[in-house]
Amino acid sequence: MPEHTFRLNGEQVTVDVADDVRLLWVLRDLLGVTGPKYGCGISVCQACTSHFNGKAITPCTVPVSALEESDEITTIEGLPDTVGQELHPMQEAWLEQDVSQCGYCQPGQIMTAVDLVRRASDEGRQITDEDLDGIRNICRCGTYPRIRDAIRNGAERM
């Protein structure tokens, strides 16, 4: 079986699996990294959102063979390390707003939020209502209002 090597949450990992298996299953089923959740498998729900070299992707749509050895995948588990803290500021904001209900969507929501704030700040601007309206992540518990508050709160801390 082909070997695939990439960086995951700061460490080099290698897996033996067919080329076309999507990263989500490599993470969850082979590496036991279960923070990214399944909700659709077709890049709709965004529950699996993680970062590829710092940018948001949906791992359910990335064949593992598309990754280079030097590519860095960050899942919710590795997010705090990107800032060298126990918790990322966005996670702190999530706790402060008490966003989670069932919590199933929340790893993906947080990874999306961090990406959104980074993109806005790269463009030298604040988060707008339009930015928030543009988030596609599903939360079937309907935590959307608190997510909006938490992103604004987290943006200030980042």
The neighbour count for residue 24, using CB atoms within 10 Å, is 22
Query: Minimal distance in Å, beta carbon 120 to another protein?
Result: 15
Q: Residue 113 interacts with another protein (CB under 8 A)?
A: no
Q: How many other C-beta atoms lie within 10 A of the C-beta of residue 86?
A: 9
List the single partner that 55 binds among another protein, ligand FES, none, CB under 5 to 8 Å by kind. another protein
- Residues found near ligand FES in the complex (CB under 6 A): 38-41, 43-48, 58, 60, 100-106, 139-141, 143
Comparison of 12 and 151: residue with beta carbon closer to another protein: 151
x-or-dash pattern for another protein, window 56-95, by CB under 8 A?
xxxxxxxx--x--------xxx--x------x---x--xx
Question: 83 or 141, CB closer to ligand FES?
Answer: 141
C-alpha pair distances (Å), 118 with each of 56, 71, 134, 142: 10, 19, 15, 25
Given the DSSP bridges, would you call strands 50-52 and 55-57 parallel, antiparallel or unpaired? antiparallel
3-state secondary structure at position 136: coil
Q: Which of 10, 12, 53, 121 is in the footprint of another protein by CB under 8 A?
A: 53
Distances, alpha carbon 21 to alpha carbons 29, 33, 96, 133, 148, in Å: 11, 15, 37, 32, 34
Length of the chain: 158
Question: Closest CB to another protein among 7 and 37?
Answer: 37
Which one of 6, 7, 8, 45 is in contact with another protein (CB under 8 A)? 45
